[in-house]
Structure 1
Amino acid sequence: MSDTNSQIRPVADALAMAEAFASGRSDPVQALEKVLAKTADVDDVFISLCSARALREAHASAARWKAGQPASALDGVPIAWKDLFDVAGSPTTAGAAVRRDISPALLDANVVGLLARAGMVSVGKTNLSEFAYSGLGLNPHFGTPRNPVGLDQPRIPGGSSSGSAVAVAAGIVPIAMGTDTAGSIRIPAAFNGLVGFRSSCRRYSREGVFPLAHTLDSVGPLTRSVRDALSIDDILLGRAKPTSLVPRDLSGQRFWLDQAVIEDERIEPAVRDNLLRCVSVLKNHGALIDLRPSPAFQAALGLIEQQGWLGAPEAFALHQSLLDSDAAARLDPRVRRRLEAARAFPASQLVNLYGARKRLQQQITDELDGAFLITPSVAHVAPPLAPLEADDELFTQTNLATLRLTMPGSLLDMPGVSLPSGCDALGLPTGMLISAPPGEDSRLLRAALAVEAALRHH
């Protein structure tokens, strides 16, 4: 039996925390003290903390709230950063031992600076798969954050934004920023019962963010609600007038549920059952559901399986000098092998992939024609950690299976929101992924807000 409602009930999010600041029931300094206390109770979630900076920011925010002049709707809210983002005064390790002793960043990444000027309190840098190159979240150098929802045995957090997801799921911070190249926000969001927003690649600045694959990398938040993701979006885009957080009516809104995906035998029963139950709720709220295979999405799946992952040669090119040096011996052997596997990637194949991606991006836009694509975020729940640590072949197979349903959206640069869809019999979360054509992030976020409201009402 699966349980849909247990993972979609209302939760205390960042905006609720800010409302407590506004009413005087709490203040940013008290909130930060609780956050810092909680960081001591978890292992391997943070690579580094910036407590002194956080305290300065929290005190400044408290003064603004006391004066009735908050810098933004999220002023004083604690936030954590995947350790790919430069935070002034902290080294950016990218989860790699070879970068452990790198000099601290001199400047904040662009998005870090924008959220700091909005009053958000930077707590620290979170753990990740080395160089963000795995969907599972294991890290032999800095440890692997344990999925806080998996109580039967230690389970993976999902990656590569592992620490960011666990920091939110464990109740340490209400928002953490991640990156997504092939699923690295959407996967850990699904495994931890969170909202995860993969933006279109060019929506937010990537200046000061350590890259993996230049044409695929994107930035986005892991949150407890869609409205928090919308608020982050408002700040990062510099909107003078915030987006309305009142959910729209779903009547007449079209969704395309890819029938070929949902009927694939690789989809675990709880994932399928919870997704179909959520779709039924949307239908009851007046949404129009189109159940059939998506030719463009299926073509993208086939292209990746037959021609390879575009991110592989891009990642190899980025790290080639490291791979050719003695320092390569210090890499996670699994990450090193995956990087090396693209050394002989044919240039003609790479050029063909770029061309096919452009054609499929136009095809998915034409096909959807105003609808949103629905698929599972991941075909399975979070697997146990120990077998993956012990077995390289199992790790490789599981990593590919975990990334399979998010890679097409990345290839096509489709913004996507992973929403909690329910749990399996062990209480492990499942996720529903809603995606839109490239560049339609705002429309997607508003639709996700309406979907979330419908599911919570149910």
Structure 2
Amino acid sequence: MEPRSIAQLSVLLQAGALDPVALVEETLAAIEAYADASLFTVLLKERAKAEAEASRRRIREGRSLGVLDGVPIAWKDLFDIQGLPTTAGSRVLKDSEPAGEDAAVVQALAGAGMVSVGRVNMSEFAFSGLGINPHYGTPRNPASPAGEHRIPGGSSSGSGVAVAAGLVPVSIGTDTGGSVRIPAAFNGIVGYKATRGRYSMKGVFPLAKSLDALGPLCRTVQDAIWVDAAMRGLPSADALPRPGVADLSFVIPETVFFDGAEPEVVAAFEAAVARLAKAGARIRHQAFPEFSAIFDLMAKHGALVTAEAFVLHRERIQGPAAAEMDPRVVKRTLLGEKITLADYLETLAARDRLITSFEERLGPESILISPTLPHVAPQIQPLLDDEDLFFQVNGKTLRNTLIGNFLDWCGVSLPCGTGAAGMPVGLLLSGPRNSDGRVLAAASTVEGLLR
């Protein structure tokens, strides 16, 4: 299928030039014909066709639910779908009790007329930024050079690939340390991580509740804006106005983000920033000691995500289920056993102080602009062959984005060119908690200039 955005499909659907039933049949056929069988874990054929038929009736009768009516969507395997077990990319949950109802955000987008076509693969229990899954396979990054299998990024691996491959215009992921923004950057698409708590988490399998956030992976910022509104139960008519470039103030962080970055990534980022500056954007460089302090805290007390994941999974990883899990997930989760309650509480207290300090240092109108990741997607085989390399690359992949989760940012990753081997590079716009509207609007302006 030719990749199409929600906006492109919506124009055709609302005008009657494209039938929702024909679109869902085309979508399901393309998914089944796609060479990579590791991408979708479940196809919702009956549900999708019923939802598409309902959309067809509404549009023909002049009762459209809005711009999303009839548009296909895929879900990361963490969202409850009525009648199915929520497996979270793991074999140990495949026989768990089926969900009694859809997750709240699944219900919200169904209420906007979207057509759920299936669930997509992910890192097991969302506990890796690389997207490797030994149980259901690892989706191949569609941007990989011929003959290579490069990683998709995780943990929303299937979401990133499904959109990049043009199979669906949007897939909803989760982001605890970068799991929306990482696959978006690696696959050359848009990924929006909302402020934690912007949407209901009811029916979403957790990893670390103090960090978990949701967001769409899609083709354009406008698509993300529409989906964001629908996930909050708002009409798309409330779409955000796009500010002028000269109205934007960006801050390039001098701390952590560029450490060890590939030269090609830095070059692509600097070229994008130069275009913004030429168009009139205000740009300054600034150090943020809060960023280094996060990693000092983790070294001293352990990571929040590890502590909370251990509590969530301790019975599994200390029992027979551990043998059925990805040993790398087990090994990383077990690190949480060493984190004391005092460590955890001290980290939470320090987090509050660092959030306040960062927001005061950034200022009220500025948006952080940085490379999403310090490197492009690497080849998978060396990571499978060398466990030490796996953990090293996983840590570096998560490094930039986890800062945003710890400090409770929202963020949008945009494609901004290519790096080594012609692989996509992402540019990340980040703002303080609850500045989502301002960051999305700025991202829309930046996207228009970069494209």
Deviation of 1:29 (Å): 1.0
Question: For residues 258 and 81 of structure 2, what CA distance do their matches in structure 1 show?
Answer: 44
Unaligned runs of 5+ in 1: 1-9
- Cα 1:324/1:387, change in 2 over 3 Å: same
Cα deviation per residue 1:111-157 (whole Å; 9 max; x = unaligned)?
00000011000011110000000000000111111111112410100
Indicate yes or no: 2:198 matched with 1:183. no
Deviation of 1:84 (Å): 0.3
Check whether the contact 2:409–2:433 (CA below 8 A) recurs between aligned residues.
yes
- Amino acid across the alignment from 2:333: L
Question: Secondary structure of the residue that 2:215 maps to in structure 1?
Answer: strand
1:28 maps to which residue? 20
Q: What is the TM-score normalised by the length of structure 1?
A: 0.94
Question: For residues 247 and 443 of structure 1, what CA distance do their matches in structure 2 show?
Answer: 9
- Cα 1:359/1:235, change in 2 over 3 Å: same
Deviation of 1:244 (Å): 3.3
Deviation of 1:263 (Å): 4.8
1:284 maps to which residue? 278
Indicate yes or no: 2:362 matched with 1:341. no
1:419 maps to which residue? 414
- Provide the aligned length of Structure 1 versus Structure 2: 446
Deviation of 1:298 (Å): 3.5
Check whether the contact 1:247–1:453 (CA below 8 A) recurs between aligned residues.
no
Question: For residues 316 and 262 of structure 1, what CA distance do their matches in structure 2 show?
Answer: 28
Question: Secondary structure of the residue that 1:61 maps to in structure 2?
Answer: helix
More RCO (CA 8 Å, sep 6+): 1
Deviation of 1:324 (Å): 2.5
Indicate yes or no: 2:322 matched with 1:328. yes
Among 198, 206, 224, the alignment partner of 1:203 is 198
1:401 maps to which residue? 396
1:251 maps to which residue? 246
2:302 maps to which residue? 308
Indicate yes or no: 2:76 matched with 1:76. no
Question: For residues 398 and 46 of structure 1, what CA distance do their matches in structure 2 show?
Answer: 25
Unaligned runs of 5+ in 2: none
Deviation of 1:305 (Å): 4.6
Indicate yes or no: 2:6 matched with 1:14. yes
Deviation of 1:351 (Å): 1.1
Question: Secondary structure of the residue that 2:83 maps to in structure 1?
Answer: coil
Check whether the contact 2:265–2:375 (CA below 8 A) recurs between aligned residues.
yes
Indicate yes or no: 2:35 matched with 1:46. no
Among 427, 445, 451, the alignment partner of 2:446 is 451
Question: Secondary structure of the residue that 1:404 maps to in structure 2?
Answer: helix
Alpha-carbon RMSD across the aligned residues, in angstroms, is: 1.5
Question: Secondary structure of the residue that 2:92 maps to in structure 1?
Answer: helix
- Amino acid across the alignment from 1:192: N
Deviation of 1:295 (Å): 2.9
Spell out the pairing of 1:206-225 with structure 2 (5 A cutoff): 206-225=201-220
Check whether the contact 1:182–1:403 (CA below 8 A) recurs between aligned residues.
yes
Identical columns (%)? 46
Moved more, 323-332 or 382-391: 323-332
Deviation of 1:226 (Å): 0.4
Moved more, 227-236 or 296-305: 296-305
Indicate yes or no: 2:91 matched with 1:97. yes
- Cα 1:256/1:305, change in 2 over 3 Å: farther
